[in-house]
Structure 1
């Protein structure tokens, strides 16, 4: 069976990278610029405060906690919020790892998740400003294991160590998303919430497995063990969109990706995605995206040059 979350992660071209870290003690504070990608970091020892611009209440982060930031605004990590913050850009200009002060009150390590500039929005748009996975949470054991492996990999200078560490960042990212969904967090009415819904998951898997099939509501409802009406109402309530409208939007996401990455003709794309003609496909594409398939392909070709 298809895995909708994996499909979306592939479409978004999730690219994990290793970043740096720091050891800090005393009255310290660091201001980080607005990230241009998703930022992941963990506290290996001690604790600190996370103060995000435009968020009134600082968040306390303890040893073993993991944070995923998707916001595009500056933030501060601090042992003392009253201390004058250092500029992170200047601090890490020469080395990814820094020591601040003469104590180990806080040891931090991090990484980044870069998403595709065009298709990454499908994931980025549904994430909250930050996700806080607490070490004390019973569900956090899997993240802790991955974090321990990441720390060990960074500590050893072995062949392939950098790519191994990056893959571990990617695995932690997926696990953070799983925990965020499974812990019943207040998700927006989006595909992420639909994926978390155990009743709707079978229907979503079918639509992702064969998006070109002319799915009927009664078929999708049967897969979910619900009546046609109950399924349609639940899907709209949870996902914020009707089932077949979701299918159309997913088809257009796939079409946008194919138009950028492939040389397939519009007729071939139409057939692959379940449209009876090139014109029917083009009309649906323009209705959803606001531009024609040919215009989308030309625009991408100009950006690629």
Structure 2
């Protein structure tokens, strides 16, 4: 089986899931979430970026970005906000509610937290709300390509893996069992991965972003090779030969779809891999450099500082102290 760039990215950006709210509501009701950056320190401290998602367990409601037209959500639907935007769920379009950050602090201490909203009586809707943390820096091509909102409609294509995952998540969240928190975290990650895969499959053929590049037979193969064998001493000539295109054709097609040249992309991806190794283990910087394809510690350190704004040792120290969020934003070049 060949290398899979999407799987490599999902691994390298350290996707971590959790479920924190189980909301039961009776009309009229509204629940408004602030930008994810505001609640991230409470629900997923140390995460560079937080994605919020909602799974409709029972009933129906409306959901969408603050200031945008909402979409109708039915039982089994999933809606996610990859860029961390403020958003609203409600029993009817146009209803709003001031976000309450105290709820996020409480949820982090007693996950999953059960909430009741709206009027008294039998709930007309039940929603499971969760979070996914991931690395956004130095380079996360997945985040760069995802829209502000993803919506999967239940039963759109009959019984599916997505439906089975959603059912398992809803069943696990409905009762407290030993190991439930860990199981829900893994289910959340699988749900998001499948949601992204569905999004890629549904994109129009003429798109121009990282997902469109994955679907291109030649550029997709180039991405899979670069992700699967990032430490190899790639040249544009070698990559073009392996994907069956001329050097100039590959360079033009890759840049048009991905937004940067192949070797520039490889440089950014190597630094993302290096950042993960620095954060996740005790390897000396020199060994990290060699593992991601740099010939020397000095060359790696220069590139890393140029892209992230901090030297490798400072990145490692901040990651160990749970301070990955406030680090300087990554720059565009490797």
TM-score normalised over the length of structure 2: 0.77
Deviation at 1:119, TM superposition (A): 5.5
2:80 equivalent to 1:68: yes
User: What secondary structure is seen at the aligned counterpart in 2 of 1:207?
Assistant: helix
**What residue is the counterpart of 1:26 in the other structure?**
27
Change (3 A) 1:166 1:290: closer
Which residue pairs with 1:208 in the alignment? 227
Q: Could you tell me which residue of structure 1 aligns to residue 66 of structure 2?
A: 53
Task: Deviation per CA, 1:58-80: give whole Å up to 9, x if none.
Answer: 22222321111134443221113
> In structure 2, what is the equivalent of residue 298 of structure 1?
314
Is 1:178 the equivalent of 2:197? yes
CA distance in 2, matches of 1:125, 1:271: 27
Give the gaps of 5 or more residues in structure 2.
41-49, 108-112, 322-334
Match of 1:40 among 53, 61, 64: 53
How far residue 2 of structure 1 moved from its aligned partner, in angstroms, is 3.1
Change (3 A) 1:83 1:264: closer
CA displacement at 1:34 relative to structure 2: 2.5
Unmatched segments (≥5 aa) in structure 1 = none
2-structure distance, mates of 1:100, 1:124: 34
Contact 1:13 1:120 in 2 (8 A): no
RMSD: 3.1
C-alpha deviation, 1:136, in angstroms: 4.5
Q: Is the 8 A contact 2:305 2:312 kept in 1?
A: no
State the alpha-carbon separation in 2 of the partners of residues 274 and 253 from structure 1: 12
Between the aligned partners of 2:283 and 2:206, the Cα distance in structure 1 is 36
- After superposition, the C-alpha distances for 1:208-254 in whole angstroms (9 at most, x for unaligned) are 22222112323322333333332221111111111111111111222
Cα shift at 1:179: 0.7
Alignment of 1:144-293 (within 5 A): 144-184=163-203, 190-291=209-310
Superposed CA offset, 1:126-158 (max 9, x none): 322110112253288221111111122233444
For this pair of structures, how many residues does the alignment match? 301
In 2, Cα distance between the equivalents of 1:254 and 1:82?
A: 43
Tell me by how many angstroms 1:99 deviates: 5.1
Q: Per the alignment, in what secondary structure is the counterpart of residue 17 of structure 2?
A: strand
- 1:14 pairs with 2:32: no
